[in-house]
Amino acid sequence: MSASERLPVIGLTTYLERAKTGVWDVPASFLPKVYFDAVEKAGGIAVLLPPQAVSDAIADRLLDSLDGLILTGGKDIEPSRYGQEAHPETDEPRPDRDAWEDTLLRRAIEREIPFLGICRGAQMLNVARGGTLHQHLPDVVGDRRYQAGEGVFNHVEVSVEQDSRLAGLLSDTIDVPVYHHQAIDTLGDGLVVTARTPDGTIEAVELDSVPFGVAVQWHPEESREDIRLFAGLIEAASKYRAQEQDSPNA
| pLDDT tens by residue, 83-101 | 999 999 999 999 999 999 9
pLDDT in tens, 38-76: 999 999 999 999 999 999 999 999 999 999 999 999 999
Give the pTM.
0.95
Catalytic residue (choose from 78, 101, 119, 206)? 119
Lowest mean pLDDT among 185-189, 201-205, 224-228: 224-228
Catalytic residue (choose from 134, 180, 181, 219)? 219
CB-based contacts of 206: which residues, under 8 Å, 6+ apart?
A: 164, 165, 166, 191, 192, 194, 213, 214, 215
Nearest residue to 121 via CA among 54, 209, 206: 206
Q: Which amino acid is at 223?
A: S
The pLDDT of residue 250: 57
Catalytic residue (choose from 78, 101, 221, 222)? 221
The pLDDT of residue 5: 67
Average pLDDT, the chain: 95
Given a cut of 70, whether residue 248 has pLDDT beyond it is: no
The pLDDT of residue 246: 72
The pLDDT of residue 113: 98
Number of residues that make up the chain: 250
Is residue 219 among the annotated active site residues?
Answer: yes
Is residue 221 among the annotated active site residues?
Answer: yes
The pLDDT of residue 245: 78
The pLDDT of residue 2: 46
Nearest residue to 140 via CA among 96, 89, 73, 104: 89
Given a cut of 50, whether residue 3 has pLDDT beyond it is: no
**What is the SS3 assignment for the chain?**
CCHHHCCCEEEEECEEEEEEECCEEEEEEECCHHHHHHHHHHCCEEEEECCCCCCHHHHHHHHCCCCEEEECCCCCCCHHHHCCCCCCCCCCCCHHHHHHHHHHHHHHHHHCCCEEEECHHHHHHHHHCCCCEECCCHHHHCCCCCCCCCCCCEEEEEEECCCCHHHHHCCCEEEEEECCCCEECCCCCCEEEEEECCCCCEEEEEECCCCCEEEECCCHHHCCCCCHHHHHHHHHHHHHHHHHHHCCCC
